[in-house]
Each structure stands twice: as structure tokens, then as C-alpha cells.
Amino acid sequence: MGKANWKQLAFRLLPTAIQSPMATALTKYRIAKVNRLQTPNKITFFITNRCNARCQHCFYATRIGTNHTDEINLDQIHKLSLSLKYPIDLNLTGGEPFLRTDLVEIGKIFCQTPKVKFLYLPTNGLLPERILSVVEQILRECQLAGLYVQISLDGPEKIHDEIRNVEGCFKKAIETIELLKELQKKYKTLYLKTATVISGANYEQIDEVVRALLPLQVPHTFMLARGSHFGVYNLPKDIWSNFNPAENSSFVPVEALPSLYSTLRELNQNSATKFWSKEEQLRFVHSINMITRRRKLFPCYAGKAEGVIYPNGDVSFCEMTKPFGNLRRTDFDLHKLWHSQAAGVMRRKIERCFCIHDCNLSTSMSMHAATILKRLSGKLPQNDSELILFSAEDTSVLKQ
């Protein structure tokens, strides 16, 4: 049994009268820590707009394939790393991050400062040998608490290749997964995960999607296709990033969401290999509730704990909002830009918004006492009926 499972078991054995104060105290500690931050401790860095796929559901589609001559170079990235005040969780994304030829050097810069605890690398898996080489070099040359590689897998071969608009994409992704599983035997700090974006193109075949995943025996996450026009609420239109898939049909119909959750939960329960963690399920439930009820469940910490950097140096608080500045104007000093007048204006504009973006949701959930109680106690909706009754605060309607 892993450390996390032992913690959950120990927590469940505690009296209810003790569980709640413990979760509240943990929440207060984490929020106080975030409020003292001078620079974000979670950064999503789009290192390139280049990509070797053209996914139907891609919210970043309008930027894919655009000019990459203005990508931040290594010297500029080094300046950026020196301006960070705390160790960070760093997500190097794109585009396809492995298309950037200096990806290893980028990783080393952030590790040598040292500023990175956990490094995340999402990929479509189209370059198996390169991905293996880069990942092994980073593991060998960087002291990380964890390197997480997430490989996209949106269904069985035919569905996946159609969604990604690349023939052979599925086979390449599987090859990448198998190569990295072998590498895991050598490096204990390498963690793998597969990810499915549930969209209008695959939600009706979700059982086929799961059957394609099970033989891999890799932890999995499900994300709903999103954009600044779907799954985002109370955000002033003048600061929309306007990142959206090319077609509105990429989004799952709202009325299909409850049964989609029930199907996934049942498939997971009936599987010998549990592919969907309690935390992932809870985040999915929160996403559905935000969409169906259009109600903010908890505070968002974008602009405090989280920030986004784009290939040209633009900086925003999240992917759904416009940039408020560019690092080139502060000689790549993120601290200076983070505390600029423009940043302050943007923070005031995003005080009421909420969205289903997985990265932002994960941070919010970790600082919400009722959600912590649900995750540690294992209380989740069992079916459509319980999902309808589900509240972000109340756990009484849920079964153990």
C-alpha cells in the first residue's frame, strides 16, 4: 500500500469530530502560505506553438503553427528562472514540447537554480525515441522530486487518429508509453499518466476508450474539452483569451455529463485495475457541477499561486484570460511583472470568475476543507442521482 493510501486509511479511522478540524487547519495553513507568495509556485510555460498534430478539441488551435521565431531563448529563460522566489511545480507544454530542440537545456536551467520540485511534460507521443532520450537525459542530469510525463490517448486507434488528425498517432503513443514504462524500472522519480480529452468526438464511445486504456496499466485522467466560451463563467469579455476549439461540436452536451460520470465510475469499479483515482473523480464531479449549476464552488488561486507564460514572453494568470504583460519589458524579471500595475488591474477583474480547467481546479481543491474531507474519506457520488444531490460543501448524501 502506498503512502497516500496509508494516509487515507489512517484519516478514515479518526473520529468525525477530529477529521473536520484537521482539514480546516490544513486549509488555513495552505491559504496563508499562498497569500505570502511573491511569485507563483505553479507555472505553466508554453515553450512552443509548434505541433505535429492538429487535434479537433485543441483550445489553443489558433496559436498552433504560428510564428516561432520569437520563442524565448535559453539566456532569457535563465533570467526568468533567477527571478523566481520559490521552488515551483513547472509544466512545460505547447504545442508539442518535445519539438523544441533545447528541451533538455530548459529543464536543466530550472533545475540548477534550483527552482523546480516537480516537472510535468505533456505529449502526444508522436516521437517515441526522442521522448525517451529527452526524458532520460532530464532524469539523469536534474535532481527532481518527480518527473511526470502525460501521454494523450483519446480512444482506440481509429477514434484517436481521427481526433488527432494524424494517421498512426495511436500506435506511436502506445510505443512511447511502453518505452517509458521500461525507463521507470531504472528511475523511481519518473511517473507516467495517460490523458483523455472527452469531447463531442468520443464521449459516446467512452467504454471503447476505457477498453483501449486498460491493457496499459497506467494511471489515467479524463478532462472535458474546454475553451474560453465553454466551462468558463463570470469572466469579463474584455479579458477573454478567446482560446477555443475550431468547432463548438468539440464540447460534450451538458445533458450527457451526469451519465458520462456514472459510466466512467462503473467501468472503474468493475475493473481489476483501478485506472481512475478518487482525486481525479472528484475533480471531474466538480467540473460537471460547475457546468450544470453555473456556480462557483471555491476560490481560484490563479494570479497568486499560478501563472502562465507563453512562447513570446507574454504572461497571464490563466489560460482563459488575456496576457497582462510581457517579460521582455522587465528584462525577464517575473517578480517585477507579477507586481506591476497591470497585474493588479487584472487580478481585480478575475475575482468572480470560475472555470473547469484541471490545473486550476486541482490547486483550488487542495485548499478547500470540504473537498479535502471528501478525498481523504473516499466519499463520492455513486450514480446520477447522487451527482444531482452532490454539493461542494455537504457530504451527507454520499455513501462510504
Is pLDDT above 90 for 209?
yes
| β-pairing verdict for 42-46 and 306-309 | parallel
Confidence of residue 399 (pLDDT cuts 50, 70, 90): very low
Q: Which residue has the higher pLDDT, 4 or 192?
A: 192
Confidence of residue 398 (pLDDT cuts 50, 70, 90): very low
Is pLDDT above 60 for 310?
yes
Is pLDDT above 80 for 400?
no
Q: What is the mean pLDDT of the chain?
A: 91
Which residue is it, cell 508522436? Answer: 126
Is pLDDT above 70 for 145?
yes
Q: What is the pLDDT of residue 220?
A: 94
Backbone angles phi, psi at 398, to 5 degrees: -100, 145
Is pLDDT above 50 for 380?
yes
Residue 354: closest CA among 256, 282, 286, 279 = 286
Q: What is the pLDDT of residue 247?
A: 74
Confidence of residue 105 (pLDDT cuts 50, 70, 90): very high
For 80, other C-beta atoms within 10 Å of its C-beta total 25
Residues 124, 52 contacting (CB under 8 angstroms): yes
pLDDT in tens, 242-274: 888 877 678 999 999 999 999 999 999 999 888
65-69, 87-91, 349-353, range with the lowest pLDDT: 65-69
Strand partners, 355: 232
pLDDT in tens, 225-248: 988 888 999 999 999 998 888 776
Residues 289, 296 contacting (CB under 8 angstroms): no
| β-pairing verdict for 146-152 and 190-198 | parallel
Confidence of residue 115 (pLDDT cuts 50, 70, 90): confident
Mean pLDDT over 272-296 rounds to: 91
| β-pairing verdict for 232-233 and 306-309 | unpaired
Mean pLDDT over 122-149 rounds to: 97
Domain 38-393, CATH number (from 3.30.465.10, 3.10.450.240, 3.40.50.300, 3.20.20.70) = 3.20.20.70
Q: Is 377 helix (H, G, I), strand (E, B) or coil?
A: helix
Q: What is the pLDDT of residue 366?
A: 93
Is pLDDT above 60 for 179?
yes
C-alpha cell at 236: 469579463
Confidence of residue 12 (pLDDT cuts 50, 70, 90): confident
Q: Which residue has the higher pLDDT, 318 or 390?
A: 318
User: Is omega for the bond preceding 258 within 30 degrees of 0, making it cis?
Assistant: no
53-57, 111-115, 230-234, range with the lowest pLDDT: 111-115
Residues 108, 142 contacting (CB under 8 angstroms): yes
| β-pairing verdict for 325-326 and 314-316 | antiparallel
User: Looking at residue 188, what DSSP letter applies?
Assistant: T
Q: Is 130 helix (H, G, I), strand (E, B) or coil?
A: helix
C-alpha cell at 368: 478547500
C-alpha span between 260 and 251 (Å, rounded): 13
C-alpha span between 8 and 4 (Å, rounded): 6
Confidence of residue 108 (pLDDT cuts 50, 70, 90): very high
Mean pLDDT over 339-359 rounds to: 96
Residue 132: closest CA among 146, 143, 145, 121 = 121
> Taking the alpha carbons of 211, 216, 217, 220 in that order, is the dihedral positive or negative?
negative
Per-residue CA distances from 175 to 130, 135, 152, 185, 369 (Å): 12, 15, 12, 16, 41
C-alpha cell at 30: 495552505
Q: What is the pLDDT of residue 389?
A: 58
Mean pLDDT over 197-209 rounds to: 95
DSSP code string of 135-156? HHHHHHH---SEEEEEEE--SS
Q: What is the pLDDT of residue 246?
A: 77
Q: Is 202 helix (H, G, I), strand (E, B) or coil?
A: coil
Mean pLDDT over 19-45 rounds to: 94
Terminal CA-CA length for the chain: 20
Please state the pTM of the whole predicted model: 0.93
Mean pLDDT over 34-52 rounds to: 96
DSSP code string of 63-77? TTTS--TT---HHHH
Provide CB contacts within 8 A for 255, sequence distance 6+.
none
